[in-house]
Amino acid sequence: MAQHENVKIYRFKISNTQLYDEMVDFSHTNQFLDKHELKEKYEEWLEFPHISKMISEERQLLHRHEYDLIKNDINQKIFKSIKYYHIKNLVESRKMKDCEKDKPQVSSSQAEKKTNIKFSRDLLEKVKEELDAAEDLKPSVCCANFMEKNDELLKEEKRLFEENQQNADGDFDTRFKKMFKNQWYMKFKKGC
* Helices 121-133 + 172-188 axis angle, to 10: 50
- Residues 14 and 58: their CA atoms lie apart, in Å, by 7
Identify the pLDDT of residue 141: 84
pLDDT tens track for 52-85: 999 999 888 888 877 777 777 888 888 988 888 8
pLDDT tens track for 128-140: 888 888 776 788 8
Identify the pLDDT of residue 83: 86
Tell me the whole-structure pTM to 2 decimals: 0.47
Structure-model confidence comparison of residues 72 and 48, the more confident one:
48
Structure-model confidence comparison of residues 18 and 93, the more confident one:
18
Radius of gyration of the chain (CA): 21
Taking alpha carbons only, the member of 109, 88, 48 closest to residue 56 is 48
Looking at every residue in the chain, the average pLDDT score rounds to 78
Are 90 and 31 in contact by the 8 Å Cβ rule? The answer is yes
Structure-model confidence comparison of residues 107 and 67, the more confident one:
67
Could you say which DSSP state residue 41 is in?
Answer: H
